[in-house]
Amino acid sequence: MEQKRWKLYLGFCLFPLAIGSLSALLSQSGMAQYDMLARPPLSPPGILFPIVWTILFILMGISSARVYERGCLGCENALQIYCFQLAVNFFWSIFFFTFQWRLFAFFWLLLLLVSVISMIRCLYRVDPVAAYLQIPYLVWLIFAAYLNLSFYLLNR
């Protein structure tokens, strides 16, 4: 990969990683309580979350870089939806952990799911590979919705 392209991909990967890191930093005070909550079946250990999110954010960055490189008519719309879902993603952990608004966070997560599905559809029109790279993210969010609702129901 030529150096200019490599820098483009690095920048596009660092952007969601920075957003996710800032969200985690702002949610840190509430994350300490995660281990004290009643846990639903299939609940993974807390250490798994940063690993999974790092991978998902890198995949987001690769997808957005691929779309940006195309520079086509539909690219701008796809990147706007990408930025919107990233903003929605940013606030979820703050609602869930910091404010402990678990039911509100569940509905916020449903908004995130809808925006990610919309993003995937837009990405597919521009670059199918970019869309396919987001399938793990979609699957993780569905699992996160199960966990979010379960944590709410078990810890009211």
Q: Structural domain boundaries of the chain?
A: 3-30+44-154
Of 55 and 156, which is predicted with more confidence? Answer: 55
pLDDT at 1 over 70: no
94: DSSP letter = I
Separation of alpha carbons 37 and 33, rounded Å: 7
Cβ-proximal residues to 28 (8 Å cutoff; 6+ apart), any chain: 97
What pLDDT is attached to residue 3? 83
Q: Using alpha carbons, select from 89, 78, 69 the residue that is nearest to residue 16.
A: 89
Q: Contacts for 3-12 with beta carbons within 8 Å, 24 or more apart?
A: 5/69, 8/65, 8/68, 8/69, 9/61, 9/62, 9/65, 11/65, 12/61, 12/62, 12/64, 12/65, 12/68
What pLDDT is attached to residue 29? 84
- In the CATH scheme, what architecture does the domain 3-30+44-154 have? Up-down Bundle (1.20)
Residue range 33-60, pLDDT digits in tens:
877 889 999 999 889 999 999 999 999 9
Write out the H or E segment, with its range, that includes residue 133: none
What pLDDT is attached to residue 112? 98
Ramachandran category for residue 44: left, alpha or beta (phi over 0 → left; psi -120 to 50 → alpha): beta
Band of the pLDDT at 84, cuts 50, 70, 90? very high
Residue range 95-149, pLDDT digits in tens:
999 999 999 999 999 999 999 999 999 999 999 999 999 999 999 999 999 999 9
Q: Using alpha carbons, select from 41, 55, 11, 75 the residue that is nearest to residue 143.
A: 41
